[in-house]
Amino acid sequence: MTIAPRLDARLDNLPDYPFARLAKLLGGPPGPDSIVMSIGEPQHTPPAMVAEILTANAAMWGKYPPANGSADFRDAVTEWANRRYNLPTGLINPEKAVLPVAGTREALYLIAQTVCGDRGGQRPLVLLPNPFYQVYAGAAVMAGAEPVFVPGAHGAASQPDFSTLPAEALDRTALAYVCTPANPQGMVADSALLERSVKAARRHGFVLASDECYSEIWDKEPPPGVLGVCAALGEGLANILAFNSLSKRSNVPGLRSGFVIGDEAVIHAFSRLRSYGGAATPLPVAAAAAALWRDEAHVTETRDLYRAKLDIAERILGGRFGFYRPAGGFFLWLDVGDGEAAAIKLWREANIRVLPGAYLAAEDSEEGNPGHRFIRVALVHDLATTETALTRLAAILGE
């Protein structure tokens, strides 16, 4: 007799990942002629320097990369953060406050394992926005914590204000995820909101994880980040971690390269955990990544391309489906009444794949699923494809 292996029952509490749900809804994967706007995978050409530097550093494939990466990588991201957020020299110690990660997804997941221990017999809480990047909830559940979905302070297209939660809840909190600019809605947390969150984290002893991987894809002005807010507060990086990535900034989602910067004690613990279970960044990848963080020309070009796509979107969709230009990121968050029905219609009638907003949100006891009425449309293609797709989308959903 074979006894089937017992799996972790917590896995049953995870909904299927959004793309698996979408494949089920639409009855299969996309074909070669499909226009895939469901996934935030930039289709822009990666900078040529990536292939050149990987080749030049090919000898390093023969080396195990250290968990903390190369000094050159840590210096490059420190210089970048100092420039980007106008930080005082010394706020970030590149030796102790910077960690390379294999894309931010694994880091956003693993950080929950680092901070969600038992709190005097109580299950810790993890705060997250709703709608949200699905990894936050998966991380909380698998770390044995209780996810708390916090709606936007001013409706579905606004950032949550964690500082307004009751003190007992904040005392039980181990980790809070901020996403700015937000996936899926594209709104930005302003400095005042980030400051309230930083202060709440410090007052109640939790870690504020600020996911800023869309920070460089902005429309009118660069969004503030948690590092800049900490610099202004003048009390170092206590209790905060900033996550960022090259996937969107530099059009290299396949490179799997990002970083975490923040509280040195948390970074130390995180690095210890990751030396057991995290994927270290290969040294040739770290060399290419360092060069990308040192170059802004390709990022300016990328931003201009997204702006041109937002211009197209505004021309075609303006005044309909609750269209607005997202302050950051490259998603349209369109109010179509019933996101699943719209996704099916677009797929059947136009071979266009978009994601129902409900798959990016959790049921709220008062309001139901805040993503239900929406679709998320990723503007990741070239201008001509974007124009074709949005014209078809407007015609089909406007009927």
Ligand X SMILES: Cc1ncc(COP(=O)(O)O)c(C=O)c1O
Enter the DSSP assignment of 295.
Answer: -
Q: What is d(CA 202, CA 234) in angstroms, rounded to the nearest whole number?
A: 13
Beta bridge partners of 332: 377
Give residues 256-285 in contact with ligand X (rule: CB under 6 A).
Answer: 258
Q: Is 314 exposed, middle or buried (0-12, 13-18, 19+ CB in 10 A)?
A: middle
Sign of the Cα torsion 53, 328, 153, 332 reads negative
Q: Which is nearer to ligand X, 124 or 184 (CB)?
A: 184
Stretch that binds ligand X, among 101-109, 139-147, 197-205, 273-281 (CB under 6 A): 101-109
Phi, psi of 293 (to 5 degrees): -65, -25
Stretch that binds ligand X, among 88-96, 97-105, 262-270, 359-367 (CB under 6 A): 97-105
Contact 212, 243 (CB under 8 A): yes
Q: Which is nearer to ligand X, 85 or 331 (CB)?
A: 331
Residue 215 Cβ vs ligand X, minimum distance, rounded to whole Å: 11
Q: What is d(CA 56, CA 121) in angstroms, rounded to the nearest whole number?
A: 53
Q: Does 104 bind ligand X (CB under 6 A)?
A: yes
Return the residue of 70, 114, 180, 247 that touches ligand X, per CB under 6 A.
247
Q: Which is nearer to ligand X, 104 or 386 (CB)?
A: 104
Stretch that binds ligand X, among 122-130, 245-253, 350-358, 376-384 (CB under 6 A): 245-253
Phi, psi of 371 (to 5 degrees): -95, -5
Return the residue of 161, 211, 216, 263 that touches ligand X, per CB under 6 A.
211
Hey, how many other C-beta atoms are within 10 angstroms of the C-beta on 191?
15
Q: Does 245 bind ligand X (CB under 6 A)?
A: yes
Give residues 29-68 in contact with ligand X (rule: CB under 6 A).
Answer: 40
Q: Which is nearer to ligand X, 108 or 165 (CB)?
A: 108
Tokens representing residue 352 in the block: 């266009």
Phi, psi of 280 (to 5 degrees): -75, 150
Stretch that binds ligand X, among 104-112, 201-209, 293-301, 386-394 (CB under 6 A): 104-112
Q: What is d(CA 374, CA 296) in angstroms, rounded to the nearest whole number?
A: 34
Tokens representing residue 169 in the block: 């809840």
Q: Which is nearer to ligand X, 42 or 94 (CB)?
A: 42
Give the binding site for ligand X (CB under 6 A). Answer: 40, 103-105, 108, 133, 179, 183, 211, 213, 245, 247, 253, 258
